Amino acid sequence: MKLLTHNHLRSNVRTATTGYPLIITPTEIRVTDTEYNDKFVKHVMQNVNWPVLVQAASQCGITTLPPTIPPNLTSDTSFLQALHHVLVNVNVVSGVLKCPDTGREFSIRDGICDFMLEEEECENVKI
C-alpha cells in the first residue's frame, strides 16, 4: 500500500464518526525506485491531505516532511522529487491500519488492505 493510497482511505465501520485518518502500524516496508514525474506530483499534491501524509510518513519512520507546505516548495524540484519518493516509492507490505474512532484493525498483507467488515459492522445490513 502506497502512502498516496493511504491518504484517501477511511474506515466504513458503522460506528465510526469519520474513520479518518487510519493509523498505520507497519511490520514490513519496501522502498522501490520509480521514475520521477513532475506533472504527476504537482497534480497529486492538490488532492493530498498534507497533515495526514506527514503523520503516515512518520508512522513509517519518515520524519523529513515539513509540518506544512511553504508556498515556495511547490516549485522546488528537489522537494517535489522527495515528495514523489514518499508518495509512490514507500510501500507498506504488511502491517495493520487502525480506525481512529473505533479501534477496528484492518490487516495489510502483500501491500493489500483487507477492509472486509463483519455484518454487525455494516450500516444497512439485511438478513
* DSSP states of 9-44: -----TT-SS--SPEEEEEEEEE------HHHHHHH
- Rounded CA-CA distance 101/89 in Å is 29
The average pLDDT across 7-13 equals 94
Work out whether the CA dihedral 15, 21, 23, 26 comes out positive or negative. Answer: positive
Topology classification of domain 3-116: N-terminal domain of TfIIb (2.20.25)
Q: What is the pLDDT of residues 88-121, one digit of tens each?
A: 999 999 999 999 999 999 999 999 999 998 877 7
Its pTM stands at 0.89
**72 compared with 1, residue with greater pLDDT:** 1
Q: What's the pLDDT at 124?
A: 61
CA 93, CA 112: separation in Å to the nearest integer? 8
Single-letter amino acid code for the residue at 106:
F
In this predicted structure, which of 55-69, 80-94, 110-124 has the lowest mean pLDDT? 110-124
